[in-house]
Structure 1
Amino acid sequence: MGQVGQTPPPGYAWPSPPMVQPMPAMGQPPRWPAPAPVRRESLGEKLGKEGAGSRLLAWIGGAVTLLGIVLLLVLAIQRGWLGPLPRVLVGAGFGLALVAVGLRLHRDPAGRTGAFALAATGIAVLYLDTIAATTLYEYLPVVVGLGVALAIVVGGLRLATHWDSALLGTAVVLGCAVCAPLITQGFTPTLVTFLLAVQLATTPVQLGKEWTPMVWGAGIPPLLASAASTFALAKPGSWTNTAAAVGAGVVGVGLAVLATRRRPADPAALTLLALAAAPTLIAALFLPKSQAVLLAAGAAVVLLGVCVALRGTAGQLAGIAAMVAAFQATVTQFDGTARTAVLLAEALLLTLVAWRVRKDFALAGGLAFAVVGGLLAWSTDFPPTMIAEFRPWTSGRLAGACLVAALILAVSVALPWTAARLGKLGAPGTTMPPWVFAGFLALYGAAGVVLTASLLVFPGRTGFLVGHVLITVSWTAAALVLLVRGINVPALRIIGLVLVGAAVVKLILFDLSALDGMARVAVFLCAGLILLAAGTRYARLVAAAARPQEQGP
């Protein structure tokens, strides 16, 4: 230690002072240094590691061997080599031999890569041999064959769990699922049931391990096979195929619910939950109407229950799937004006649900139902020509149009209001286009209600003229109410002014040319007097509201 005040020798380097983070200002959270980003290895780096080539060769060899055994079975059937029983016995012996060699190799740490590949290949061979014995040669009843296949896959996954190898578990389910259609000679309901056995066998592993590739490998093939089986049959009344499709949906939803309760963000479980009902809905397309509606509605009810039971992303996906199933049930059961009215009513119901439980996906579903119902109404059930032109409509058609128009009015008011309450839509002064579009639809619906009601009360052209007079007068009266109520509410004031403009445009562009006689005189007099009264009254209210501000405190 040098003495205080001693001069350091030439070339001496003073130590750097320690880095001190500046203290944050009062009330500010402390600033911690951002963690360094985790660098992921590229594919080339992974392949360049020592031992990567041997692992890759082992797994490729196992896949090629499995495919060769499948091709050998198919060729033996085509050319009549051996008999059915020797083929089954040879396949079982070969599979057991591969598993035995894999178990022996696993004792040596250097041979475990080959052990995984051999064990996965052997288990897949045993599984495919069981399918052949059940479906091709009928040595085993279907129930017994399914039980044996389930036991084989459970044993393979138990081995993967014991060795703690997610790669082995994934290879087992993929080897069984990918090659099974070659044995069953296409996509059939029987194939779907065997694939469901593979998926059910993964249940204990899913509850204890987060092996996402294995879950995908076990869950996606039954759904695809069920859809392909339905399109391959393409005929109504196939209850075997329908039962397989329902089974695929039930198993998929059930396992997804179990997995998401333990791991709410599991991507594989969420994917299966979203897609599980697809085979059932596809199968319903090929059933008679009553059965198709029952199947789709049942799927909607089950998924709605799952939506209520689960939270977060899982509940939202179940709710979206339930809305899709409900939409299919609706369009299958109803047609014509009834279909349009029910879709709009469901849109209104979903909007109210979104407001009550504050769920964005319910609001999106209400918007989707409203768009479809609105397009149907615009094109067939309540077209613009119904307002613009007088035609001798029947009472039934007018009543249906009146109901549809009322629902359009209700949905046009409820949707933007709920979206604003949920924070998805700004005030009319900041986001004008959505509000203007909703206001146009609300006016369209309100005009339809007034006009169709007038035609029902006064059949013929008289009802048409009276209806349009009432439409213009009601718009101006509503504008007066909104302006009066909107003295201190900018949104109501804006809507009222827009409504005044709409009434004036209708007066000039439509009423002046379409109406005649006393109807034209009445509509101009009534609208003009109301607008005069509105202007006078509104001016007084504005002056009264401004007077206290001028006086000041």
Structure 2
Amino acid sequence: MTEPHRAVIARLLTDFAAISTQLARVSTDLTELDRLLSESPQAAAHSPAPPAPQYQPPTYQAPQYWPQYHAQYAQPQYAPAAQYPPQTSPPPVAAAVPAVRKPRGEGWIGKLLAVAGVAVTLIGVVLLLVLAAQAGILRPEFRVAAGAVLAVALVGAATRLSARPGGRVGAIALAATGIAAAYIDVIAVTTIYDWVSAPVGLVIAAVVAGAGLTLARRWDSEHLGLLVLVPLIVLAPVVVGGITLLLVGFMLALAAASLPVQFGKDWVWLHAARTAATAAPLLVALVAVYFDDRHDAWLVGACGIAAVLAITGALILLPRTRNRVAIALMTGAGVLPVLSAGLAVDRVIAALMAAALASALLGIVSIGDRLPGVDGAVRRVWAALSAVSAVIAVLVAFNGEVAAPLLLAMAAVVAIGGRREPVARCVAIGFAVIGAVVYLAYASPSTLVEATETSVPDAVSILIASLLLIGCAVAIVWSFPHREPAAWAGAAAVSIYAVTAFTVTVGVLIGGEGAGFFAGHVAATICWIAMAAALFGYAARVARTERSVPIGGGLALVAAAMAKLFLFDLGTLDGIFRVVVFIVVGLVLLGMGAGYARLLEKQDQQNAPADVTATTP
């Protein structure tokens, strides 16, 4: 065998030895892994793994006839296998156990039966007190005493039942029936038998309701409060014999007694029931008084008390409730009788009450950040409610001659004062729209097409409202952070109409339905062109990037003036008025064409050095 062949064989033997070493190391690792997996995770985590066995590769002995190559291809010395840290297997992942659906309970059956029992029992009490009195069955003393004994017995049984396992549902139903029966008994004693005066009866009723609802708070049961309030809303009018002022007093006493129960509780439905207990009978009574064509100041006073209770209850609930918007909307329902007070009282008093409500809500909104629970959503709802109250106050107190300018002035003030608040902008738009509708009732488009005689008060109202409408439109558009061209176009259209109404009204007021009407339209057309000229002059004095809006507005005004000139003025105006309007408009257009080009060139030349300086590094 030649020497090169021996060298190749020696290298192959060395490679095989290295491969054998690696396989032995892999075998050791697999053995350790099998041991770790066979042990429990807890034992593997706490007991150290034994050191891996050291593998000693076999020493290769070269043949004697390779002496000259033995030193050159000596057996390589391998380092012992590395000591690996003990490895612990991860804890087993618990298999996801599917949630077992609980079978639907049958507790709702007991609740349903309990509610039905409350309703039937209370109807029986009403029959005992009302129908028995009408039929002459038993003496009044026995009827009243029977109702009182039944009420006490039911509450006593509820107290004993509440301490027993599973007796909560029945206890709540029994207690609610007893409390409502006692309240109905007090109403009957006051209204049917007249044994006590109305003030004394109201005090006793408030005590009974307060005691019952205190029990609801002690048991932490909103259902108990609901089972007391809801049946009384339906059955109390039956006992009294209709919606009367005394019934309203009993409902107010009930609502006032239930108010302290709300402290620290998120009982939204109880608040809704209390609101319905006061608002519903008041609205029915107001409508009845209106159709009877009479006034009732006491009823309007009750409306004010109901509004105070609604707002106070909302402020009590808001810090703890999760349904703040619902509470805010319920407040609107609670103050609705105040806004409807004009059905039963003089317009001055009704307007004062609406204005007082608007001021109160606006004050709460203004300090809302310092009141717990009065967050942004509540403030927006109450701000809108305050705006509605203010509009009602204005419309009730004043006729259209005063209401239109006043509403437009309010819109301008709100738009300027609250330009950073989206709610204020919406309120300003609402005031402006309502004011514009009232304004159009006196300055309708028909008065601009045909000469119409207008009384002096109406003419003065139109003149003031026209100026306020222009200012209001500009203020509202200016209050928006992003002033779109469409918004400016709308403001320009409103301003054009207001300018035309102003000039025509002045012309008719001074010169009559003939010459005055024509002169007013001549002035209107000239004003349109003058407004266009002002826009072009403004466009020539601003930077090139800001000219699109004023130029577009100016061109629109020129187009509108030309259309009016040929479509209306040419056929409607007579004699010298037609000549004057065409000559004046033509001269203004000529001056605009020459002056705008000169001003534009001068402005661009003045701005050019500044622009070059600004762009030069």
Task: Tell me which interval the TM-score lies in, with the shorter structure as reference length.
Answer: 0.7 to 0.9
Matched residues, number = 508
> 1:427 aligns to what?
484
Q: Secondary structure at the match of 2:295?
A: coil
Q: Secondary structure at the match of 1:48?
A: coil
Return the letter of the residue paired with 1:519: F
Rg larger in structure: 2
> 2:280 aligns to what?
224
In 1, the alpha carbon distance for the partners of 2:241 and 2:561 equals 69
User: What pairs with 1:115-514 in structure 2 (closer than 5 Å)?
Assistant: 115-234=171-290, 235-260=293-318, 263=321, 265-310=323-368, 311=374, 312-355=376-419, 358-379=420-441, 381-391=442-452, 393=454, 395-418=456-479, 420-421=480-481, 426-428=483-485, 432=486, 434-456=487-509, 461-487=514-540, 488=543, 489=546, 490-514=548-572
In 1, the alpha carbon distance for the partners of 2:167 and 2:364 equals 46
Q: Is the 1:479–1:499 contact (alpha carbons within 8 Å) kept by the matching residues of 2?
A: yes
Larger deviation, residues 207-216 vs 256-265: 256-265
In 2, the alpha carbon distance for the partners of 1:161 and 1:395 equals 65
Change (3 A) 1:4 1:480: farther
Larger deviation, residues 295-304 vs 79-88: 295-304
Change (3 A) 1:3 1:512: farther
> 2:29 aligns to what?
4
Q: Secondary structure at the match of 2:137?
A: coil
Q: Secondary structure at the match of 1:486?
A: helix
In 2, the alpha carbon distance for the partners of 1:215 and 1:102 equals 24
Kindly provide the CA deviation profile for residues 349-393 of structure 1, in whole angstroms up to 9, marking residues without a partner as x. 3333432xx3434433333333333233323x2122333334555
In 2, the alpha carbon distance for the partners of 1:87 and 1:322 equals 49
Q: Is the 1:257–1:273 contact (alpha carbons within 8 Å) kept by the matching residues of 2?
A: no
Kindly provide the CA deviation profile for residues 499-524 of structure 1, in whole angstroms up to 9, marking residues without a partner as x. 12111111111222222333323322
RMSD (Å), alpha carbons: 3.0
Q: Is the 1:47–1:53 contact (alpha carbons within 8 Å) kept by the matching residues of 2?
A: no
Structure 2 unaligned segments of length 5 or more: list them.
Answer: 1-25, 38-100, 369-373
Change (3 A) 1:450 1:93: same
Q: Secondary structure at the match of 1:406?
A: helix
Change (3 A) 1:460 1:171: closer
Change (3 A) 1:391 1:227: closer
Q: Is the 1:121–1:172 contact (alpha carbons within 8 Å) kept by the matching residues of 2?
A: yes
In 1, the alpha carbon distance for the partners of 2:180 and 2:251 equals 12
Kindly provide the CA deviation profile for residues 172-193 of structure 1, in whole angstroms up to 9, marking residues without a partner as x. 2223333222211211111111
Q: Is the 1:273–1:317 contact (alpha carbons within 8 Å) kept by the matching residues of 2?
A: no
In 2, the alpha carbon distance for the partners of 1:58 and 1:125 equals 15
Change (3 A) 1:198 1:271: farther
Q: Is the 1:200–1:251 contact (alpha carbons within 8 Å) kept by the matching residues of 2?
A: yes
Deviation at 1:129, TM superposition (A): 0.9
Return the letter of the residue paired with 1:408: L
Deviation at 1:226, TM superposition (A): 0.7
Change (3 A) 1:61 1:262: closer
Larger deviation, residues 68-77 vs 222-231: 68-77
Return the letter of the residue paired with 2:378: A
Deviation at 1:164, TM superposition (A): 1.8
Structure 1 unaligned segments of length 5 or more: list them.
Answer: 13-44
Report sequence identity in percent. Answer: 33
Change (3 A) 1:446 1:118: same
Return the letter of the residue paired with 1:4: D
Return the letter of the residue paired with 1:388: V
Q: Secondary structure at the match of 2:242?
A: coil
Larger deviation, residues 46-55 vs 366-375: 46-55
In 2, the alpha carbon distance for the partners of 1:296 and 1:164 equals 37
Return the letter of the residue paired with 1:203: L
Q: Is the 1:242–1:283 contact (alpha carbons within 8 Å) kept by the matching residues of 2?
A: yes
TM-score calculated relative to the size of structure 1: 0.83
In 1, the alpha carbon distance for the partners of 2:28 and 2:549 equals 80
Deviation at 1:535, TM superposition (A): 2.5
Kindly provide the CA deviation profile for residues 379-435 of structure 1, in whole angstroms up to 9, marking residues without a partner as x. 3x21223333345555554333322322222223223332x23x5xx511xxx3x54
